[in-house]
A and B are shown apart, each in its own frame.
Chain A
Amino acid sequence: MTDNAPGYPFGDGTGLALEPEYGRLRAEEPVSRVQLPFGGRAWLVTHHADVRKVLTDPRFSSRATTANPDGPRFTPQPLFPAGVMSMDPPEHTRIRSLVSRAFTGGRVEALRPRIAEIAGGLADAMLEKGPPADLVSMFALPLPVTVICELLGVPYADRDRFRELSDALLSTTALPPEEIFAAVMALNEYLAGLIEERRAEPRDDMLSDLVRARDEDDRLSEQELVEFGVGLLVTGHETAATQIGNFIYMLARNPEQLAALRADPALVPQAVEELLRHTPLGAVSGIPRVAVEDVELSGVTIRAGDSVIPSINSANHDESVFEDAHRLDIHRPSNPHIAFGHGVHFCLGAQLARAELQIALETLLIRLPGLKLATDGDADLAWKKGLLIRGFSELPVTW
Chain B
Amino acid sequence: MSEANWKVEVTGACIASGMCVGTAPAYFELDGDRNRSVPRSARPAPDPLLLSVADSCPLEAIRVHDAGGTLLAPLD
Instruction: Give me the interface of A with B, judged by CB distance under 8 Å.
Output: 49, 52, 55-56, 58, 89-90, 92-93, 96-97, 100-101, 103-106, 334, 336, 340, 342-348, 350-351
Tell me how far the C-beta of A320 lies from the nearest C-beta in chain B, rounded to whole angstroms: 12
In the complex, are the beta carbons of A351 and B18 less than 8 A apart? no
Beyond A104-B74, A106-B60, whether A343 also contacts B52 by CB under 8 A is no
Beyond A334-B35, A336-B35, whether A101 also contacts B74 by CB under 8 A is yes
Q: Which 8 A-B pairs have the closest CB atoms?
A: A343-B22, A344-B22, A342-B18, A343-B18, A346-B17, A336-B35, A100-B56, A56-B22
Contact of A93 among B35, B52, B58, B74 (CB under 8 A): B52
1/0 per residue, CB under 8 A from A, across B34-76: the answer is 0100000000000001001101111110000000000000101
Considering the chains assembled together, what is the distance between the CA atoms of A369 and B17 in angstroms?
Answer: 34
Tell me how far the C-beta of A336 lies from the nearest C-beta in chain B, rounded to whole angstroms: 4
Tell me how far the C-beta of B34 lies from the nearest C-beta in chain A, rounded to whole angstroms: 10
Residues of B within 8 A of A348 (CB): 58
Apart from A97-B56, A346-B22, what 15 extra A-B contacts exist at CB < 8 Å? A49-B32, A89-B23, A93-B49, A97-B55, A101-B55, A101-B76, A103-B58, A336-B16, A336-B35, A342-B18, A343-B18, A343-B22, A346-B18, A346-B58, A347-B58
In the complex, are the beta carbons of B58 and A105 less than 8 A apart? yes
Interface size (B, Cβ < 8 Å)?
24
In the complex, are the beta carbons of A344 and B58 less than 8 A apart? no
Tell me how far the C-beta of A86 lies from the nearest C-beta in chain B, rounded to whole angstroms: 15
Tell me how far the C-beta of A24 lies from the nearest C-beta in chain B, rounded to whole angstroms: 25
Residues of B within 8 A of A334 (CB): 35
Considering the chains assembled together, what is the distance between the CA atoms of A106 and B58 in angstroms?
Answer: 10
B13 adjacent to chain A (CB < 8 Å): yes
Considering the chains assembled together, what is the distance between the CA atoms of A342 and B25 in angstroms?
Answer: 14
Residues of B within 8 A of A336 (CB): 16, 35
Tell me how far the C-beta of B48 lies from the nearest C-beta in chain A, rounded to whole angstroms: 11
Tell me how far the C-beta of B14 lies from the nearest C-beta in chain A, rounded to whole angstroms: 11
